[in-house]
A and B are shown apart, each in its own frame.
Chain A
Amino acid sequence: MSSNLPVLLFIVPFVMGVSMPLLTANRPSWCPNLTLGAFGIMLLLSIANLRVVLAQGPIEYAFGGWAAPIGIAWLNDSIAAIVVLIISLVSVITQIYGRLDATNTLAKSIPYYTLILIMVSGLVGIIFAADLFNVFVFLEVVALTGYALVGAAGGKALVYAFRYLLLGSFGATLYLLGLAHLYVATGTLNMADLAIRLPELMTSTAVAGGLIYIFLGLSIKMALIPLHSWLPDAYANAPSSIAPLLASTVTKVSLVAWIRIEYSLIAQGVEVSHVPVLVLLEEIGVIAALIGGALALIQTNLKRMFAYGGISHIGLILIGVSLGNTTGFAGGMFYLINDAVMQASLFMIAGALVYYHSAHTLEDLRGVGRQSPWLTGALVVAAVAMVGLPPTGGFFGKWNIILGALEAQHYFAAFAVLASTLLTLAYFLKIFSCWFHQPQQTPSEPLVVSNALRISLGAISISMIALGLMSDTIFQFLIESITNGGV
């Protein structure tokens, strides 16, 4: 039983998604409950999975009993276990949040829930896959459901979903091209097998080209600057009930796929025609962190501002994992987990603001702080986490990335982390200055928010703080798994 947990984690949302039209054909009101139930089972399974990995170390799951280079393998290691746990948690919370607007036609549509469930199963697949081609297939599962979910809002969102589709599919094609290059050079697609064969082939242009294509393809998927242009429009116009899940998981999981490839294939000090690859990746991360933060600062639309904040955090995580030392890597991974939770929280707040106050821009926020104590509390916690103050997880992630940068003596990277923190602080000050602005008219009664919103905002705020309080344990766990040759 315990060895089948990765597959069960994939199958539960997948089977539920496929059978949703059958189960609920005559009773559409069951859809939200069944979806929530599937995510709840996933959450329990992923907790069990984490316990198994903690007890037994990394486990390789061979499909059909065919061992790795010949068969298809999934790798159930500590990073996969933690990221899957966070994805399940975020799915449960955003699904509760999705009940906020029960009158919306989308909330009653069966295909909508099918798409959400299949997307989450694809995310689980990307995280566990230890094989480049499997990653491609699951990336496309996630991307296709993502296009449909963004487009489900109708109107403007259709155009942005189409743009997302063009860029996303082009990214996937680049990834496939890179994978083909690596296959031509090595004759294998299994990551562990590639890690054995690639180091001596690093001088080959086919291998270098393949890695570049893979990186470019995944950069589009993870919205790394300057390939981010699809993200802000798509997520700002996506349905409010699904935007938190999309924003918190899709880009982060694509980044996890790249981190696995980077960690197993690009060792410390690898150079392709005298360019140290890891340093190059780190500099790309620096650029993304700084430009993303600066772009967030000049936005006036709240959702777009949060989307750019997420883009700048992708850069921060890339800095952390590309420093080439354990502290930085663990910091980057920890920040990735935190960022998933923070983005979900921010988009939930932005969605609730649209629902209760029809507030889209910073101007619309004036005086909201007086009416909505729940939203204020959640926004304060999210802001503290985004800026990176203890006791939230954001602080410990950034702190370790900076420690790693100092350890590697890459002072510019450390500076970039601090500068992007200041930029984050700046745009949250902009938000709060409007938020607590005294309105001209007498303040109305505090707004009564629905229980769904209270539970989801409470849970996500608690998990942000809990991640900070448990940061020591998680770091020990991450560092142990890295030094044991995991990932």
Chain B
Amino acid sequence: MFELLGTLIQRPNFVVFVILFLWGIYIMAAHPNLVKKLIGLYIVQTSVIFFLVAFSAKDGATVPIILANSGLVDPMLYANPLPHALTVTAIVVQIATLGVSLALVSAIYRRFGSLDEDVILEQLK
């Protein structure tokens, strides 16, 4: 038990990721309001992006641009660019998803006059 606590305290980023991830899933599953479900989805996606950023963080590292006169490169001095590139792409995907989902939500609101899932499911029957 204490060992587990010790490991958790050493990995605050990971704990934050897990909390955000589960929180988002909870909101997606529990809230009947469609926009709140979207917020839940957004939190889940953001938590994964946080995970990507957290593991690629490096103390005292700088931007990975190698100049012609840099000489022999020590990789420890540079941040790893790949996770950041992934993060940017993942954010773009996330925004695209948000755009499509908001379009759907507004269409649902115009059609059913409500954002409450229970009310909408009642009308679907």
Contacts from A to B (Cβ < 8 Å)? 133, 136-137, 140, 144, 147-148, 151, 154-156, 158-159, 161-162, 165-166, 169-170, 172-173, 176-177, 180, 183-184, 189
* CB nearest neighbor in A for B34: A162
Query: Which chain B residues border A177 with CB–CB below 8 Å?
Result: 48, 51
Partner of A137, one of B89, B103, B108: B89
Partner of A173, one of B44, B89, B111: B44
* CB nearest neighbor in A for B55: A184
Query: Which chain B residues border A158 with CB–CB below 8 Å?
Result: 104, 107-108, 111
Are A140 and B97 in contact (CB-based, < 8 A)? yes
Complex A-B: 13 CB contacts under 8 Å = A133-B89, A147-B100, A147-B101, A154-B107, A162-B104, A165-B100, A166-B28, A166-B41, A169-B97, A169-B101, A180-B51, A180-B86, A183-B83
Query: Which chain B residues border A151 with CB–CB below 8 Å?
Result: 104, 107
Query: Which chain A residues border B96 with CB–CB below 8 Å?
Result: 140, 144
Confirm or deny: B79 has a beta carbon within 8 angstroms of a beta carbon on chain A: no
Confirm or deny: B124 has a beta carbon within 8 angstroms of a beta carbon on chain A: yes
Query: Which chain A residues border B34 with CB–CB below 8 Å?
Result: 162
CA distance A169 to B123 in the complex (A): 25
Query: Which chain A residues border B83 with CB–CB below 8 Å?
Result: 180, 183
Are B104 and A137 in contact (CB-based, < 8 A)? no
CA distance A137 to B93 in the complex (A): 7
Question: Chain B interface: which size bin?
Answer: 20 to 34
Query: Which chain A residues border B121 with CB–CB below 8 Å?
Result: 159
* CB nearest neighbor in A for B42: A169
* CB nearest neighbor in A for B97: A169
Minimum distance in angstroms from B2 CB to a CB of chain A: 20
Query: Which chain B residues border A136 with CB–CB below 8 Å?
Result: 90, 93
Query: Which chain B residues border A170 with CB–CB below 8 Å?
Result: 25, 28, 41, 44
Minimum distance in angstroms from B10 CB to a CB of chain A: 16
Are A180 and B104 in contact (CB-based, < 8 A)? no
CB-CB contacts below 8 Å: B13-70 with A: 25, 28, 34, 37-38, 41, 44-45, 48, 51-52, 55
Given A180-B48, A180-B52, decide whether A169 and B41 contact each other with a Cβ distance below 8 A: yes
Are B105 and A155 in contact (CB-based, < 8 A)? no
Given A166-B41, A173-B44, A180-B48, decide whether A159 and B93 contact each other with a Cβ distance below 8 A: no
Query: Which chain B residues border A147 with CB–CB below 8 Å?
Result: 100-101, 104
CA distance A169 to B45 in the complex (A): 9
Are A172 and B93 in contact (CB-based, < 8 A)? yes
CA distance A176 to B82 in the complex (A): 14
Query: Which chain A residues border B55 with CB–CB below 8 Å?
Result: 180, 184
CA distance A408 to B86 in the complex (A): 40
Minimum distance in angstroms from B99 CB to a CB of chain A: 9
Interface centre among B51, B107, B108 (most CB of A within 10 A): B107
Minimum distance in angstroms from B24 CB to a CB of chain A: 9
Partner of B111, one of A140, A154, A180, A184: A154
Query: Which chain A residues border B97 with CB–CB below 8 Å?
Result: 140, 144, 165, 169, 172
Which 5 A-B pairs rank lowest in CB-CB distance, beginning with the nearest? A140-B93, A158-B108, A162-B104, A177-B48, A169-B97
Query: Which chain A residues border B101 with CB–CB below 8 Å?
Result: 147, 162, 165-166, 169
Query: Which chain A residues border B45 with CB–CB below 8 Å?
Result: 169, 173
Given A159-B124, A166-B37, decide whether A176 and B48 contact each other with a Cβ distance below 8 A: yes
CA distance A170 to B121 in the complex (A): 22
Query: Which chain B residues border A165 with CB–CB below 8 Å?
Result: 97, 100-101, 104
* CB nearest neighbor in A for B80: A187
CA distance A155 to B82 in the complex (A): 43
CA distance A481 to B38 in the complex (A): 44
Query: Which chain B residues border A144 with CB–CB below 8 Å?
Result: 96-97, 100
CA distance A158 to B110 in the complex (A): 11
* CB nearest neighbor in B for A179: B86
* CB nearest neighbor in B for A164: B104
* CB nearest neighbor in A for B93: A140
Interface centre among A133, A162, A183 (most CB of B within 10 A): A162
Are B120 and A173 in contact (CB-based, < 8 A)? no
Query: Which chain B residues border A173 with CB–CB below 8 Å?
Result: 41, 44-45, 48
Minimum distance in angstroms from A235 CB to a CB of chain B: 16
Partner of B120, one of A133, A137, A140, A159: A159
Are A161 and B104 in contact (CB-based, < 8 A)? yes
CA distance A288 to B34 in the complex (A): 30
Query: Which chain B residues border A155 with CB–CB below 8 Å?
Result: 111
* CB nearest neighbor in B for A178: B48
Query: Which chain A residues border B37 with CB–CB below 8 Å?
Result: 166
* CB nearest neighbor in A for B51: A180
